[in-house]
Structure 1
Amino acid sequence: MDPVNPAESGANHSPNLSAAKRKLLEKYLRGEMTTEAVPGRAISLLPERTHNHEIVPPWTNKRELSLAQERLWFLDQLMPGSAVFNVPMAVRIHVGLNLAALKRSIAEVVRRHEVLRTTFAQVDGQPVANVAPAIDVDLPLIDLSSHPKAKREAKVRALISAETRRAFNLARGPLMRAALLRLSETEHILLVIMHHIVSDGWSMVLFFQELSQIYEAFSSEESSRLAELPIQYADYAAWQRDWLKGNVQERQLAYWKEKLSGELPVLDLPADRPRPVEQTYNGARKWLVLTESQTEAFAALGRSEGATLFMALLAAFKVLLHRYSGLDGRWSRAKA
């Protein structure tokens, strides 16, 4: 499966974890990662999960929200009907497709991850996460094979764009949907869109990795070989809430209140058109591919300062914005 950029369906951009990074991620998710696991780091990580932390029992459908989910729920209340937090991903499939096996595979991934079966209602002004025992994720088949090849890709882009802009209802759900575009008997595009409250970019990568493995088994009339998940996202949310009990949350809030105190200026870049009165979220994505030597240079710079590659790249981006605006970096943010 080749990922397709939803805005530019011909682009090939496949974010894959290396074996070393995957091993580190798995270790972190098992709760085995401490500060000693990250050489050269002198920061405070979330405390290691202990056996004293109770796993959220599967027989209750009520779940705590993580702080990130609570923030996204709040923003959805401010902007009802907005699709700005939709997370889309599309993959191009270049082989003959077993549609029944694909539908079963999607259903199996949803069964494995209860966060994909979660909706967010409001009770007494507060968000409550409810997990359904099962949901039916439809997979409509949109046949584009009759369109001339020259117009087919434009039609694909238009369909992906329209689906990406269709909003979710957090209270009603489901908070993911899928569609299959048929270009020919041996070429399809599978589009999956989730709300950010139940997913993110890396989660989408893991979703398609699991889907690929399960589909391989189901299309061969075999059972899934994936082990059952020992924890769910709700366990992380409960763990995070436990960690913030006491004065931890107060210390975190005090730190950021101090950093963000005073009047924060608006980032004023020398754009070729005025900023709209109301935010529209209209924009585009530009890809920049760094060479291997450039990537290693940034990574080395980060290591020398006890920072990650992402932090080094973000710092360089902020320097660029400072050059154009003359402002400090408090007003800029990034999504990892």
Structure 2
Amino acid sequence: MALMTSQSSQARASSEAFAFVPSAAGVPADAITRVARAHPDRTALIAPCGTLSYGELLDRADRVAAWLRTKGVGAESLVGICMERSFDQLTVALGIWKAGGAYLPLDPSWPDGRLRMIVEDAACAVVVGRNEVVERLAGVDTPVVALDWNTLPAAEEASATPVDAEGLAYVIYTSGTTGKPKGVEVSHGNLAHLIAWHNHAFGVTADDRGSHLAGLGFDASIWEVWPYLCAGASVVLAPDEVRTSDTKLRAWLIVQGVTVAFVPTALAQELIRDDWASGAKLRYLLTGADRLLGRPRAGLPFALVNNYGPTECTVVAASEVVPPEAVEKGIPAIGRPIGATTIHILGAEGQPVATGEQGEIFIGGPSVARGYRHLPAMTAEKFVTIAGERCYRTGDRGSWRPDGQIAFHGRVDDQAKVRGHRVEPEETAHVLREHPAVRAAAVIAAPAADGSDMLVGYVVASDTVTAEDLRDHLANTLPEYMIPSAFVRIDALPLTANGKLDKKALPEPSDDNALASAGFATAQTAAEERLVEILTAVLGRGNVGIDDNFFLLGGHSLLGTQVVLRAGEAFGIDLTLRDLFQAPTIRQLAARIEEIFLRMIDEMSDDEAQARAAE
């Protein structure tokens, strides 16, 4: 496709009055430092363990900065952070900035193989984590150190290193077609534009409380934290148990007094159907990452805001409040350009499309990232010039609506969105082909029941390999959202006349063509039978054995929440996601339920014995 570069290819920009120059506004670390010095006692971070003031945050970040400088961290140095959601994780990130470096968020829940791959590809100066991370990453070329506050220098030994707006702020890794994830380099100026737009658009002040619950390797987690800290507001860190349940999350948001919250699309679509207490302080519920299918009901105490943007354009490129069903029908738009962002929608020949016509979305403006780490050829391919402006070619299809918003129409290529994560199916297929029993494999995205995508793997493999074998193999390298929900055994991959995979000829997954599970066992007890019914309904598939691992059948945290809620109701007990994680098969979960019953009986017996003794 030839891209037009004449002035006739004008983009549409935000209609709001917004003039922002990143270099003039300063970088986020400077803004947070100013807040901390002016209001050291103001609360910066809130978690179940307590609170952290701005003064304490700055003091700790300065200590981290001084420590990192002794390890050679300076301008353009990349430092990996592999920690749980915590005060330490955010403090280390700020300390890295104050040392002049950039940070790479690494989710400790990722498998060791993926952590190692990303750490080695990123060429970090150092990785900071807990003691267990040092053990998990033993042998990598990058130094891996455990954070120990007892050995860090005092704050007065640290002084901030000047940071340029063009300097590297952070790197986020996304799925790649070559079988390896690729790192997106985002500058301080890119991030500063997002922060300035966010705080302007949502009227963020020091009185606000933002929530932090997105996945730690997901770029929405960047958006959840830094705008609020730059405004002197508070950030509330969500405990894991509320992150996958709409009822628990709703209660947590209300109790914590959160005023602006980002919630992944799947959960947001539940929250906008729920009943809300009149005392809720939530003003804006922000969502994005997956296609929003529903609209809010009338009378909610907050506005629902749909957001769109690839990692390469600093989290958000388009945004708009979603009108309720009584005002507007149909699938919500993905919004209009934010801040100083510009968006082009171009046809097959590179020409701007008319309103209502579909084309590929290109994004320009101050949010466009520097490019891909260590991949100059891919950067040149995806970051192009249109009408004299550097733009990112998204691969998404869209069209302009008459009101200036953008309607989303899916992908131009094969990329998928699985539970909010951008996934290249070919990366999964690449790892799948490395299994010794697999002769050929393909992975495609298929519609899931919740409106997002699911992955389906097609394999030409030996008769001895099982679905569990392949899932275990993939789990050594890939996060669970990149593992197919179903595996189909075929004799050969269908090809088109020019030798490409013929996706239309691939059969639909069914019980007849599903790759066999190892050691399939049927239910032996009434409890196991009831659990089989629950898992079959939640997973939307049959042929579930009592020794099949829920998470290796395509289950994930959101579906797991449904399992524990339904099982809890069926057996009249309280179950948690932790129970399912520790007992992921029906046989194990049934045994766990029996243990809970026995414990309840023992407690009742103890109570009766105490009552008799008291008499």
Query: TM-score band, normalised by the shorter chain?
Result: under 0.3
Higher RCO (C-alpha 8 Å, min separation 6): 1
Q: Which has the higher strand share?
A: 2
Task: Tell me the TM-score normalized by structure 2.
Answer: 0.17
Task: With the length of structure 1 as denominator, give the TM-score of the two structures.
Answer: 0.26
Flag the structure with higher helix content. Answer: 1
Larger Rg: 2
